[in-house]
Structure 1
Amino acid sequence: MAEAPHKGADFDVAIAGGGYVGLSLAVALKSGDSGLKVVVIDPKPMAVLDRDPRASAIAAAASRMLTQLGIWDDIKDSAQPITEMIVTDSKLRDKVRPVFLTFGGETGKAGENEPFANMMPNGKMLPALYEKAKALGVEFDAPDSAASFTTTASDVRLTLASGKSVSTRLLVAADGVRSRLRDLAGIRTVHWDYGQSGIVTTVAHERPHNGRAEEHFLPAGPFAILPLPGNRSSLVWTERTDDARRLVASDDFTFEIELQRRFGHHLGTLELAGPRNAYPLGLTLARDFVRPRFALAGDAAHGIHPIAGQGLNMGFKDVAALAEVLIEANRLGQDIGALDVLERYQRWRRFDAWQMGVVTDVLNRLFSNDNDVLRAARDFGLGLVDRMPFLKTRFISEAAGLTGPAPKLLSGKPI
């Protein structure tokens, strides 16, 4: 086991990426060990975090972590618990969409009324993470980005786009699915493009959703309606990439007509309540999550299809696992950048990430098509699951992030 080197570096941990994963990792590290010197480097100014119009599904395990980190109480009033979820499978022209699978929204733990997930506006959560990080003493280099780095026996030396130089004992790349730092580290990926894009927008509707989430499997891909506070919902609308580009570029009238065809009329009149953007969808899995003095986290390690709504929550799992490994190693006087320390994190997270990548890939291929034979088979399977309570409970626990050996933070415990 490598012992800690002389602490001559500017920082103990430098995190490239100031999104959910980077900010929550910074907060987790400083909360667990206030003596660690942590910096977050991001190309956008932190002052614009509240302008993110999107929303995210926060699983029960992630909300436990955010509670432990002192974030959840500040933002819970902006959360919308998911009280129920339904799954349908139909063609776009079908007038009736039979419900094949229903889930209650609670995790099922005795004596608890904990929803398996909450919808949270990004514009509320990101600023809360940033303010908490600042209060704990995390430093920020933003707007700036890591242009290059070299690794020595005792540290990583970063050159930033501004020309500034920074040294750190460990560099964490949380810079997204197209991670430049992952490429600079020489880490290869498994990648393919689905030929789909996810249209993300927010709509207001006439009738209340009552906390119900809906996932409609249509031939082009899943169409997810996710409840927000008030009579509003967040949409993740999967289309073939050319069609998605056409829809996003269309006028509001055309877009709303196509939206209503997929959304249905059960919540009354619809009105766009936010910008619309399309994001290309693919599968990207890093072959390795670590190198000496270097680790990947979040989408830089695993970019998956949103069909199961688990991308962000996998990033939170990375945060909880990496923070626990680093803090415990530092307490023992070990070198937090040593490969044998970082491999504990890799063993904890890589198999789970690859497993979820395979599951979402299979689900997308199974449901994003117009094959009548496959449709009959998958509808039979959905109906079978709906009649087996123990399987439904298992799926809810998986969606809530409450299965398997969890890091302490995801169990609501301090490191």
Structure 2
Amino acid sequence: MAETMQVDVAILGAGPVGLSLALALADSHLSVALLDTFPAPRAAVPASAPERTIALSLGSSRILASLGVAAYLDDAAPITHIQVSQAGLSGVVRLDAGLLGESFLGQVVELDRVRAAIAHALPASTNLVQMATGPLQALQQHGDAVAVHSAKGVVRAQLLVGADGGQGGLAPLAGLARLGWDHNRYACIASVKTARAPAGIAYEHFLPSGPLAFLPFTEDRFSIVWSLTPSEAARLQTLDDAGFLDQLNRHLPPGLGRVVATGPRAQLPLGFQRLLARPDRRLALIGNAAQTLHPVAGQGFNLGLRDAVTLAAMLKAAAERGEDIGGPLLLSRYLASRRWDAVQVIGFTEGLNRLFSSDFLPLQLARAAGLAALERLPGLKRQLAARAAGLALPAASHTPALTPSGDRHALR
């Protein structure tokens, strides 16, 4: 690209959240540039890498259905029950879809498959240009536009949307404020086979090192996310598959069949990060570019998808009214609309991880008593199930309708 390209909206990042925003804007009159900041690594993922999965909440499945994506994910593994437990002590909470009168609470699917499904649903449209730019080289923010510089040239837009997972070089160039910390933990991810079929049950089992999650992935496999201390992670890396299975079988949640086989494994560092963009900088953040969460409860993508469709609806409504789509008035409204949803999810995931990771005996006993009591309170269980399913959102955070009118609606 030798010359500067002019568009209304430039989306930095072509992962599932960035693609969802582009798809939600596909029926608008706004011109959109989707800039892929990591084209090479995605193509170079080794065949031996483990499947990266995400848990789509029921609310997210309905959002994707409204975007025309559901047909590409109709055979995703359903989560019909969630079991929460802690190691060494009794007290188990079971949430099931029947509490909400639904057939499932969520679905488990490969991350790359979600990305491909959303990309496939993007219509051939003159208002969308997709470019593999690589990381940003420079960023210029002006009063009426923002200019993005990459190896492929310059894209100038009224609004830049960061959807790069916080890894595309935007944060330092834009001077974004950061809040975050390292959890001093690693997540071991793998696909495993158990002696008994998953039967739609997702297990969230808390160990002293953090949560061990088993998500039903296929008819005979679970996708696991195992939180480990650095020393535990280093030791597991030295083990062959038989040794890994032996260690994993020592920490299973109640009722789960013995793990008999494992696929490839990988380890990822865990931490929390929240990036903040001022509303007067023509910059909005969505997904992991706005907040990177602990994987407990699997809320990261679901929160990011709500970011994307909320911003899309606001942009279409603003354009219909003739407003500046990158101006501080709209971006202030966007930040306000997403604040409480993000705060609640961050508080829940960080609080849950810290609460159940403490090995202080009185606290362990209190947790066991709390789980046992919660199991006998169907009303509270229903509220937890609704939040886990992405159906019960803060009053100010209900996802707007995907129409130019921008009317808000609940996901029920």
Aligned equivalents of 2:172, 2:327: Cα separation in 1: 20
Aligned to 1:364: 353
Change (3 A) 1:276 1:126: same
Structure 2 counterpart of 1:263 = 252
**Structural mapping, 1:119-158, within 5 Å:** 119-133=108-122, 135-136=124-125, 138-142=128-132, 144-158=134-148
- CA distance 1:346–1:210, change in 2 (3 Å): same
Whether contact under 8 Å (1:214, 1:224) holds in the other structure is: yes
Q: 1:243 aligns with which of 225, 232, 241?
A: 232
Which residue among 18, 25, 49 is the counterpart of 1:22? 18
**1:87-116 Cα shifts (integer Å, max 9, x gaps):** 11114xxxxx6452111134614xxx3412
What is aligned with 2:391?
A: 402
Q: Extract unaligned runs of 5+ from structure 2.
A: 403-407
Aligned to 1:5: none
1:85 matched to 2:82? The reply is yes
Please point out which of 55, 58, 76 is paired with 1:57: 55
Distance in 1 (CA, whole Å) between partners of 2:259 and 2:152 is 53
Task: State the partner residue of 1:189.
Answer: 178
Moved more, 124-133 or 42-51: 42-51
TM-score by length of 2: 0.88
The one-letter code sitting in structure 2 at the alignment partner of 1:27 is L
Q: Is the 8 A contact 2:277 2:283 kept in 1?
A: no
State how many pairs are aligned.
395
Quick check: 1:56–1:119 contact (8 Å CA) kept in 2? yes
In 2, the alpha carbon distance for the partners of 1:219 and 1:283 equals 19
- Structure 2 residue aligned with 1:40, among 35, 39, 47? 35
Change over 3 Å in CA distance of 1:143–1:373 after alignment to 2: same
Change over 3 Å in CA distance of 1:38–1:178 after alignment to 2: closer
Residues 232-287 of structure 1, C-alpha deviations (whole Å, 9 max, x = no match): 110010011332243235322222221222236842452113x2121211221234
Q: Whole-Å Cα distance in 2 between the matches of residues 19 and 198 of structure 1? A: 21
CA offsets 1:266-324 (integer angstroms, 9 cap, x no match): 42452113x21212112212344644211111111111212222111110110121111
Does the 8 A contact of 2:147 with 2:156 survive in 1?
A: yes
Tell me the TM-score normalized by structure 1.
0.88
Q: Name the SS for the 2:251 alignment partner.
A: helix
* Superposed counterparts of 1:11-410, under 5 Å: 11-31=7-27, 33-45=28-40, 53-77=51-75, 79-91=76-88, 98-106=90-98, 108-109=100-101, 113-133=102-122, 135-136=124-125, 138-142=128-132, 144-160=134-150, 162-178=151-167, 180-263=169-252, 266-273=256-263, 275-288=264-277, 290-403=279-392, 404-405=394-395, 406-409=398-401
Kept after mapping to 1: 8 A contact 2:91/2:369? no
Taking the aligned partners of 1:409 and 1:59, their CA distance within structure 2 comes to 18
CA contact (8 A) 2:37 2:168 kept: no
Shift of the 151–269 alpha-carbon distance from structure 1 to 2, 3 Å rule, reads closer
Which residue of structure 1 lines up, in the alignment, with residue 405 of structure 2?
A: none
Cα offset for 1:400?
1.3
Contact 1:62–1:401 (Cα < 8 Å) also in 2: yes
Q: Percent identity?
A: 33
Q: Where do 5+ consecutive residues of structure 1 fail to align?
A: 1-7, 92-96
Matched position secondary structure for 2:74: helix
Contact 1:107–1:115 (CA under 8 A) maintained in structure 2 = no
> Deviation per CA, 1:198-241, whole angstroms, max 9, x where unpaired?
11111122321111111111111110000012101100100113
Give the alignment's Cα RMSD to 1 decimal: 2.5
Contact 1:285/1:302 (<8 A) preserved: yes
Alpha-carbon offset, residue 325 of structure 1: 1.0
Contact 2:14 2:37 in 1 (8 A): yes
Q: 1:99 to 1:44 in 2, by over 3 A?
A: farther
